[in-house]
């Protein structure tokens, strides 16, 4: 304990350049740590994730776990009652044992999860948090500990710069097929596994090809296995479900909790429908459980304790559907009462989501239990019973869709958006441009060595898994937005299938929110570029535990290491999956751009001046697609624009066969050189004598010169010009007579017999008189400059602009009226407009600023030089 305290104190006092870290309770004093404090925290936390389902062998964790007692540090937490509840639970035999399967469907498991999280989150200092985590690492169930530590690091302020390994690296059983897990475990245990196309070795590691449970080229819904089983997508869902844990549904934590949860599910299913659309499948729309077929499903997964996940068999009657139907009927009955009592949209969503998802017992839990397994005792062994595996089962998407449909149906009872609630005065979306959009499959490799090894000793080789994942090429969206006044705007870009006119209002839920950002609009045209890597709410892949250890070591040795992406930044939607899989011939899609007034939300409320009217609808995360609106009226708004696009797909299977060299199996017998063919020593002396000594080259050079034919003691030289076709033909003896040089010797022989001749640079220089050409060029340019000056300067009596910048010496009558006649040009002056100094001769177009802002033909504008109240293009 003293050693740990010294380390932390040293980190706190390492430098004066620091920042404030806020602890969870705002009443507690903040803690100041040095600019490198995150490195020390990162190093302390990494051993917590090493072989997480086995007891840790790290000396620090072992010692802290043995010394830790809740009684000794009960005063180190902001809420002592939480500590007492956890102490009571672990004081009896009611806690979840380490070998038991943890599931989020079991209320007892969730209660213990909440207690552990509360204690970790409410630790007053990082020192207390780390000691508690070390104790939990050794004594708490594996699945429960992983959930609690992830959520605590996400929520605590002093761990906001900390990153952790990915869940699929800590618990690969939940992400990788059973046969791959067995092979990897056998390799680490020293078993004899044959090297095949699916198991290869690359250097000091084995690489296993982890294909999906179904064929991508299948004709039914199983072709979406690459999407259902994507490790990044399942990690995203797992982290989001943790952040929306039921006990966070309070007014004090987040008043919009239920509304954001509803928006999360709606966007997730919209993205899923886009993938179904790209694969030619029917979209998930409103359905009835009694008339909807629920196919069988085998997840092909195994738990860490060796038990397999329960499959869902076909042909068996699923009991409990009446329970779901009764809940749906009761929800529909209370909606009119909520509307009549004046409940707002946010309040209606909150009440419905409590019944559907956030109550202790709710609709979602019942649905997952019913479809999770035939027998009650097997329902917790289904993929539907775990956040990390839920999305693998197609039924999970149907459950989410059913929840979204019920909330959507309730919101139809509210008045739809009026034109004033959708209109942004003075703003027009002129155009949106996007270059080629393309998707492909790429191989992704991650390690499973630490999670699957049995021995406490570090294996002499690594085991990794590679699978093919959907990705897209980087793209850029270029928006052209005009505005009459300087103001802030909120830009929302949606991606959806191509819909016929008049059907958008009914199918708007199929559109996914691709990007959402605020912008500062200036008067006139605003060109905004958004690259795919700048899109918010998205995340890149996690950094592996092995790389994290290396970065920490580098930082300790003084190398400049920047803070990595925090767990919060890694919990967004996978950036790889922004676009659905295209088709080789091109998948027709649509981009919808909507610009709304920007209203900034602060802790005290809406940041507006008193008596200022604002559009409260834009504060909703689902605006403008959460309520109904008139289709024709919506698309007549100038702040709305739809653009047709095409998404292509590069036909690739990701990791190609033979990409890794698996010619020799790793046997572990020789640590220095046990893989790859053994090579003989390279004989450089032998290589030198292959081409002879330097004097041999001089002799060959002399022989070539003397062998050439001579006339009058002069070497014959000829200048020959040959096309590629002629050269090819003359190198072939069979077509010699029909070649370009049929009357001479074959061209191949001429090349061999051509004599060596030293190049005469002086003769070449005399042949081309560069000085004479330079004088002619200067004389011609001087004549052109004189002609131009006489025509444009002397005749028009207009002073020549300096540095190509127009001087402010133009007098224009502000009352002159201007007109835009040609739709194909940007701006044209009225024929009756009179400008002094013949300025129209210089092809300069002038138009008042206020009139330029109302021009609808601004899309071709590239650059604008603004002076006072006019625009010069």
Model confidence at 867: pLDDT above 70: no
* Burial category of 643 from C-beta neighbours within 10 Å (exposed 0-12, middle 13-18, buried 19 and up): middle
pLDDT band at 254 (very low <50, low <70, confident <90, very high): very low
* Nearest partner of 145 among 110, 103, 111, 113, judged by Cα: 113
Higher pLDDT, 801 or 264: 264
Q: What is the number of alpha carbons within 13 Å of residue 746 lying toward its C-beta?
A: 13
Q: Write out pLDDT tens, residues 36-73.
A: 477 888 899 999 999 998 899 999 999 999 999 888 88
Q: What is the pLDDT of residue 668?
A: 33
Cα–Cα distance measured from residue 870 to residue 867, given in angstroms and rounded to the nearest whole number: 6
pLDDT band at 307 (very low <50, low <70, confident <90, very high): confident
Cα–Cα distance measured from residue 474 to residue 532, given in angstroms and rounded to the nearest whole number: 6
pLDDT band at 134 (very low <50, low <70, confident <90, very high): very high
Q: What is the pLDDT of residue 383?
A: 94
Q: What is the pLDDT of residue 764?
A: 60
Tell me the C-alpha to C-alpha distance, in Å, between residue 193 and each of 149, 183, 677, 766.
Answer: 35, 7, 20, 77
pLDDT band at 234 (very low <50, low <70, confident <90, very high): very high
CA angle (443, 445, 447) in 5-degree steps = 170
Q: Terminus-to-terminus CA distance in the chain, angstroms?
A: 71
pLDDT band at 319 (very low <50, low <70, confident <90, very high): confident
Give me the mean pLDDT over the 607-615 stretch.
Answer: 49
Higher pLDDT, 610 or 103: 103
Q: Lay out the sheet containing 846-848: strands in order across.
A: 846-848, 870-872, 865-867
Q: Tell me the two tokens of residue 222.
A: 């199983």
Give me the mean pLDDT over the 681-709 stretch.
Answer: 45
Q: What is the pLDDT of residue 748?
A: 43
Model confidence at 719: pLDDT above 90: no
Model confidence at 771: pLDDT above 90: no
Cα–Cα distance measured from residue 586 to residue 589, given in angstroms and rounded to the nearest whole number: 9
Q: What is the pLDDT of residue 40?
A: 86
Q: What is the pLDDT of residue 849?
A: 36
Model confidence at 310: pLDDT above 80: yes
Coil/strand/helix, residue 105: coil
Higher pLDDT, 566 or 775: 566
Average pLDDT, the chain: 74
Task: Estimate the share of the chain in helix, then strand, then coil, as percent rounded to the nearest 5.
Answer: 40, 15, 45
Across 52-61, 112-121, 271-280, 613-622, least confident range: 613-622
Coil/strand/helix, residue 498: coil
Model confidence at 739: pLDDT above 70: no
Cα–Cα distance measured from residue 788 to residue 781, given in angstroms and rounded to the nearest whole number: 11
User: To 10 degrees, what angle do helices 363-372 and 394-411 make?
Assistant: 150
Higher pLDDT, 518 or 702: 518
Cα–Cα distance measured from residue 210 to residue 448, given in angstroms and rounded to the nearest whole number: 12
- Who contacts 107 (Cβ-Cβ below 8 Å, separation ≥6)? 360, 361
* Nearest partner of 415 among 631, 640, 626, judged by Cα: 626
Considering the chain, what percentage of its residues have pLDDT values greater than 70?
A: 66
Tokens 């803690």 found at: 31
Give me the mean pLDDT over the 383-400 stretch.
Answer: 95
pLDDT band at 840 (very low <50, low <70, confident <90, very high): very low
Q: What is the pLDDT of residue 409?
A: 93
Q: Are strands 462-472 and 437-447 parallel, antiparallel or unpaired?
A: antiparallel
Across 25-34, 367-376, 847-856, least confident range: 25-34
Q: Write out pLDDT tens, residues 255-294.
A: 688 999 999 999 999 999 999 999 999 988 888 888 887 8
Q: What is the pLDDT of residue 511?
A: 96
Considering the chain, what percentage of its residues have pLDDT values greater than 90?
A: 40
Cα–Cα distance measured from residue 675 to residue 864, given in angstroms and rounded to the nearest whole number: 64
* Burial category of 426 from C-beta neighbours within 10 Å (exposed 0-12, middle 13-18, buried 19 and up): middle
Cα–Cα distance measured from residue 45 to residue 48, given in angstroms and rounded to the nearest whole number: 6
Q: Write out pLDDT tens, residues 437-485.
A: 999 999 999 999 888 887 777 777 889 999 999 999 999 999 999 999 9
Count other Cβ atoms within 10 Å, centred on residue 822.
Answer: 9
Model confidence at 17: pLDDT above 50: no
Cα–Cα distance measured from residue 295 to residue 393, given in angstroms and rounded to the nearest whole number: 10
Model confidence at 7: pLDDT above 90: no
Model confidence at 611: pLDDT above 80: no
Tell me the C-alpha to C-alpha distance, in Å, between residue 489 and each of 526, 545, 602, 629, 635.
Answer: 11, 41, 17, 21, 19
Q: Lay out the sheet containing 427-434: strands in order across.
A: 427-434, 476-483, 524-531
pLDDT band at 649 (very low <50, low <70, confident <90, very high): very high
pLDDT band at 121 (very low <50, low <70, confident <90, very high): very high
Sequence length of the chain is 873
> Is there a contact between 144 and 104 (Cβ–Cβ < 8 Å)?
no
Model confidence at 599: pLDDT above 80: no
Buried b (16+ CB within 10 A) or exposed e, 321-333: beebeebbeebee
Cα–Cα distance measured from residue 421 to residue 11, given in angstroms and rounded to the nearest whole number: 53
Q: Write out pLDDT tens, residues 156-207.
A: 999 988 899 999 999 999 999 999 999 888 888 877 777 777 788 877 888 9
Model confidence at 299: pLDDT above 80: yes
């Amino acid at each position: 304990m003293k050693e740990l305290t010294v380390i932390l104190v040293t980190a706190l006092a390492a430098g004066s350049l620091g920042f404030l870290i806020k602890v969870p309770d705002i009443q507690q004093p903040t803690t100041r740590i040095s600019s490198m404090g995150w490195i020390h925290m990162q190093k302390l936390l990494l051993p917590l994730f090493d072989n997480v389902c086995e007891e840790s062998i790290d000396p620090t964790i072992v010692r802290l776990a043995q010394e830790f007692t809740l009684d000794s540090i009960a005063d180190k937490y902001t809420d002592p009652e939480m500590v007492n509840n956890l102490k009571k639970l672990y004081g009896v035999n009611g806690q979840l044992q380490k070998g038991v399967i943890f599931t989020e469907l079991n209320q007892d498991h969730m209660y213990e999860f909440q207690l552990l999280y509360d204690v970790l989150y409410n630790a007053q200092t990082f020192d207390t948090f780390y000691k508690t985590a070390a104790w939990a690492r050794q004594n708490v169930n594996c699945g429960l500990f992983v959930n609690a530590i992830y959520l605590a690091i996400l929520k605590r302020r002093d761990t906001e710069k900390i990153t952790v390994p990915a869940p699929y690296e800590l618990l690969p059983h939940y992400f990788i097929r059973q046969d791959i897990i067995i092979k990897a475990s056998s390799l680490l245990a020293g078993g004899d596994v044959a090297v095949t196309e699916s198991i290869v070795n690359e250097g000091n590691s084995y690489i296993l090809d982890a294909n999906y449970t179904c064929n991508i080229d299948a004709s039914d819904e199983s072709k979406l296995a690459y999407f259902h089983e994507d490790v990044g997508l399942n990690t995203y869902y797992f982290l989001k479900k943790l952040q929306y844990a039921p006990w966070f549904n309070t007014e004090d934590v987040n008043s919009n909790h239920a509304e954001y949860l509803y928006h999360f599910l709606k966007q997730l299913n919209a993205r899923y429908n886009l993938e179904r659309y790209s694969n030619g499948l029917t979209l998930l729309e409103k359905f009835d459980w009694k008339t909807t077929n629920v196919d069988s499903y085998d997840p092909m997964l195994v738990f860490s304790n060796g038990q397999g996940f329960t499959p869902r068999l076909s042909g068996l009657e699923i009991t409990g559907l009446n329970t779901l139907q009764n809940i749906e009927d009761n929800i529909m009955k209370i909606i009119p009462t909520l509307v009549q009592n004046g409940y707002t949209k946010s309040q209606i969503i909150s009440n419905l989501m409590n019944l559907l998802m956030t109550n202790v017992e709710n609709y979602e839990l019942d649905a997952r239990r019913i479809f999770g397994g035939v027998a009650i005792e097997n329902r917790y062994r289904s993929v539907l019973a775990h956040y990390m595996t839920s999305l693998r089962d197609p039924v999970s998407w149907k459950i989410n869709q059913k929840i979204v449909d019920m909330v959507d149906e309730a919101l139809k009872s509210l008045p739809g958006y009026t034109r004033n609630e959708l209109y942004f005065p003075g703003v027009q979306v002129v155009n949106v441009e996007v270059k080629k959009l393309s998707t492909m499959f790429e191989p992704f490799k991650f390690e499973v060595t630490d999670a699957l090894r049995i021995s406490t000793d570090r294996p002499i080789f690594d085991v990794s898994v590679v699978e093919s994942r959907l990705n897209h090429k980087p793209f850029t969206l270029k928006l052209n937005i005009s505005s009459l006044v300087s103001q802030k705007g909120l830009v929302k870009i949606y991606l959806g299938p191509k819909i016929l006119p008049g059907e958008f209002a009914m199918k708007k839920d199929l559109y996914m929110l691709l990007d959402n950002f605020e912008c500062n609009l200036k008067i006139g045209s605003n060109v905004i570029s958004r690259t795919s890597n700048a899109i918010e709410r998205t995340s890149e892949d996690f950094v592996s535990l092995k790389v994290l250890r290396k970065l920490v070591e580098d930082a300790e040795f003084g190398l400049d290491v920047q803070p990595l992406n925090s767990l919060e930044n890694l919990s967004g939607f996978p950036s790889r999956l922004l676009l659905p899989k295209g088709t080789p011939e091109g998948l027709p899609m649509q981009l919808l751009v909507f610009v709304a007034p920007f209203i900034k939300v602060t802790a005290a409320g809406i940041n507006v001046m008193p008596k200022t009217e604002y559009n409260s609808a834009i504060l909703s995360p689902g605006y403008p697609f959460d309520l109904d609106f008139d289709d024709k009226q919506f698309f007549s708004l100038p702040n709305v624009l739809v653009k047709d696009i095409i998404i292509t797909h590069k036909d690739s299977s990701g990791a190609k066969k033979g990409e890794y060299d698996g010619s020799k199996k790793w046997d572990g017998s020789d640590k220095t050189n046990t893989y790859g063919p053994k090579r003989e020593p390279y004989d450089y002396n032998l290589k030198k004598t292959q081409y002879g000594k330097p004097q041999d080259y001089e002799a060959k050079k002399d022989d070539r010169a003397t062998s050439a034919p001579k006339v009058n003691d002069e070497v014959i030289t000829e200048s020959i010009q040959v096309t590629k076709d002629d050269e090819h033909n003359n190198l072939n003896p069979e077509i010699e007579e029909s070649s370009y040089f049929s009357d001479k010797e074959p061209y191949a022989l001429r090349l061999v017999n051509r004599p060596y001749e030293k190049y005469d640079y002086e003769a070449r220089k005399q042949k081309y008189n560069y000085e004479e050409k330079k004088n002619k060029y200067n004389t011609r340019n001087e004549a052109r400059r004189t002609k131009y000056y006489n025509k444009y300067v002397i005749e028009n009596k207009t002073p020549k602009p300096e540095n190509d910048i127009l001087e402010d010496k133009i007098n224009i009558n502000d009352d002159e009226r201007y007109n835009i006649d040609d739709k194909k040009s940007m701006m044209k002056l009225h024929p009756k407009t009179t400008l002094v100094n013949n300025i129209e001769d210089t092809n300069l177009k002038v138009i008042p600023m206020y009139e330029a802002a109302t021009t609808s033909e601004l899309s071709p504008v590239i650059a604008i030089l603004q002076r006072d109240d006019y625009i010069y293009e």
